[in-house]
Amino acid sequence: MIERDGRTSQLAKFDRCVWHAGKAIWNGQSPNARFLAVSLLTWGEVRAEYGGVYGVSQFKAWNGSVLPNEEIVCRVSNNGTDQKYWWDAATNAQVASLTRFCLWAVDHGISIDNICGHDECAIPKGRKSDPGGVLPMTMLDYRDQLAIEHLKTRCVV
């Protein structure tokens, strides 16, 4: 689990199946049984409430909590519809911690191709929308960035 300030906590032993993704398939296997699970503590997709002369008046989480506007980002869907969604974005500290963890995992034998988001592996497709717009890029772009970072940190000059 990665807190908003980037601190990480291990909630389960690495040899335990925690059913993190629910019903899911990625690269022909269940990510629940064979993958490490990471949670970024954000509210995920949020609801915009409209009103007043300026349009959006506030953003609310799934439980009705009002969220600070400065933590919300608008991202276009990756499903080809150009529909816009509002997200409680991961902080820079969370993204940096996630990247450090993923690079550690790659160094310990996990393929970058096996790093996926719920929105990519959940069955049926569309059942989960995260990480969606929580990250500043798509998962495809994130895997590409990880590959570049992995090469940069492993090159000896």
Mean of all residue pLDDT scores within the chain: 86
- What are the structural domains of the chain? 1-42+90-157 (3.40.80.10), 44-88 (no CATH)
pLDDT in tens, 54-88: 677 889 999 999 998 888 988 876 666 677 888 99
Label residues 61-98 b or e (16+ Cβ within 10 Å = b). Answer: eeeeeebeeebbbebeeeeeeeeebbbbbbbeebbebb
SS3 for 73? strand
pLDDT in tens, 90-117: 999 999 999 999 999 999 988 999 999 8
- The reported pTM is 0.85
Asked whether 139 and 120 are in contact (CB, 8 A), the reply is yes
Whether residue 157 is predicted with pLDDT greater than 80 in this model: the reply is no
Whether residue 142 is predicted with pLDDT greater than 80 in this model: the reply is yes
Asked whether 132 and 44 are in contact (CB, 8 A), the reply is yes
Q: Amino acid letter at 73? A: V
Residue 105: CB partners within 8 Å, gap ≥ 6? 36, 115
Asked whether 56 and 62 are in contact (CB, 8 A), the reply is no
